[in-house]
Amino acid sequence: MLGENKISVPVRLEKLVKYLTKTRQPETTPVNENLSDIGQQHTPPILIHGKAPFRLAYENQIVGPILNERRAPYFDEVQGERQINLAHENIIRARKYCNEILDGKKVQNDGSLYGLRVRARERNQQSPEMLEMGGMSLPELVAYTKDHESVHKKLGTNELLLPHDYPKATAGEEQWGEALFYHDAPLLVEGILASDIPDKIEYAKGTLECLINELYTFHFIPTGSSLQLISRSHPPSLTRMGLRICEAMVESKKYSKEEAHSWLGDVMEAAEYEFTNYWKNEEKYNHFVPGSTLITPGDIDVGAHDPSERETGHDMTPEYHGRANDFLDPNINGELVGYAWDIALYKRLVDEHEAADKWQEIGDTMAEEMRTMFDGEIYRAVDIRNTKEKSTVASLTGYKPMANGIPPTDHTDPMVRQLYKFTGPYGVAHIVPETVPQTPQNGEFSTFSRPTQATLMDHFRDRQWGGEVSKAQKNATEWPIDIYALIKGLRRYGYYDLATETAENWLLSSTEYLNNNGTLPEKRNVITGENGHGVEYSEQVDFGWSIALYLWLLQELPDLYALRKKGGKNATFPSQEDVFVAYDRTSSTE
SS3 readout for 37-53 = HHHHCCCCCEEEECCCC
pLDDT at site 174: 62
Closest CA to 331 of 343, 319, 322, 341: 319
Q: Domain check: are 526 and 494 in the same one?
A: yes
Local structure of 77: helix, strand or coil: strand
The beta strand positions in 253-405, using DSSP E, are 327-328, 382-383
pLDDT at site 173: 65
Q: Domain check: are 157 and 52 in the same one?
A: no
Q: How far apart are CA 328 and CA 313, in angstroms?
A: 14
- Averaged confidence pLDDT in the chain: 80
Q: Domain check: are 149 and 53 in the same one?
A: no
Q: Domain check: are 543 and 423 in the same one?
A: yes
Q: Compute the residue count for the chain.
A: 590
Q: Please compute the mean of the pLDDT values over residues 258-275 and round it to a whole number.
A: 97
Q: Domain check: are 169 and 253 in the same one?
A: yes
Helices 238-252, 200-218: crossing angle, 10 deg rounding? 150
Helices (H), 285-329: 305-311
DSSP code of residue 278: I
Q: Domain check: are 101 and 125 in the same one?
A: no
Asked if residue 570 belongs to a domain, the reply is: yes
Helices 544-566, 496-517: crossing angle, 10 deg rounding? 140
pLDDT at site 477: 87
Higher-confidence residue of 570 and 15: namely 570
Exposure of 264 in the CB half-sphere (CA atoms within 13 A): 27
pLDDT value at 371 more than 50: yes
pLDDT at site 9: 35
* Confidence band, pLDDT 50/70/90 cuts, at residue 34: very low
Element (H, E) at 61: none
Q: Domain check: are 90 and 139 in the same one?
A: no
Asked if residue 208 belongs to a domain, the reply is: yes
The residue from 279, 299, 330 where one domain ends is 279
Handedness of CA 424, 430, 432, 433 (dihedral sign): negative
Asked if residue 70 belongs to a domain, the reply is: yes
pLDDT at site 520: 93
Asked if residue 52 belongs to a domain, the reply is: yes
Q: Please compute the mean of the pLDDT values over residues 320-324 and round it to a whole number.
A: 90
Asked if residue 315 belongs to a domain, the reply is: no
Asked if residue 352 belongs to a domain, the reply is: no
pLDDT at site 534: 64
Identity of the highest mean pLDDT range in 170-174, 256-260, 314-318, 568-572: 256-260
Percentage above 90 pLDDT, the chain: 54
Q: Domain check: are 130 and 87 in the same one?
A: no
Q: Please compute the mean of the pLDDT values over residues 348-362 and round it to a whole number.
A: 97
The residue from 279, 303, 324 where one domain ends is 279
Chain segment 415-472, per-residue pLDDT in tens: 999 998 888 888 899 988 878 876 666 666 667 676 666 666 666 666 676 765 555 5
DSSP code of residue 401: G
Q: Domain check: are 128 and 204 in the same one?
A: yes
Asked if residue 314 belongs to a domain, the reply is: no
Q: How far apart are CA 342 and CA 365, in angstroms?
A: 15
Taking a C-beta distance cutoff of 8 angstroms, is the pair 381, 319 a contact? yes
How many domains does the chain divide into? 2
Question: Of 237-246, 372-381, 465-474, 485-494, which gets the smallest average pLDDT?
Answer: 465-474
The residue from 234, 249, 279 where one domain ends is 279
Taking a C-beta distance cutoff of 8 angstroms, is the pair 49, 432 a contact? no
CA 355 to chain centre: 31
Q: How far apart are CA 413 and CA 490, in angstroms?
A: 10
Q: Domain check: are 266 and 158 in the same one?
A: yes
Q: What residues make up the domain containing 151?
A: 120-279
pLDDT at site 552: 98
pLDDT value at 96 more than 50: yes
Q: Is residue 427 left, alpha or beta, with left meaning phi > 0 and alpha meaning psi from -120 to 50?
A: left
Asked if residue 386 belongs to a domain, the reply is: no
* Confidence band, pLDDT 50/70/90 cuts, at residue 20: very low
Identity of the highest mean pLDDT range in 87-101, 113-127, 171-185, 213-227: 87-101
Q: Domain check: are 28 and 50 in the same one?
A: yes
Q: Domain check: are 462 and 589 in the same one?
A: yes
CB neighbour list of residue 196: distance below 8 Å, 6 or more residues apart = 99
The beta strand positions in 2-62, using DSSP E, are 46-49
Taking a C-beta distance cutoff of 8 angstroms, is the pair 463, 317 a contact? yes
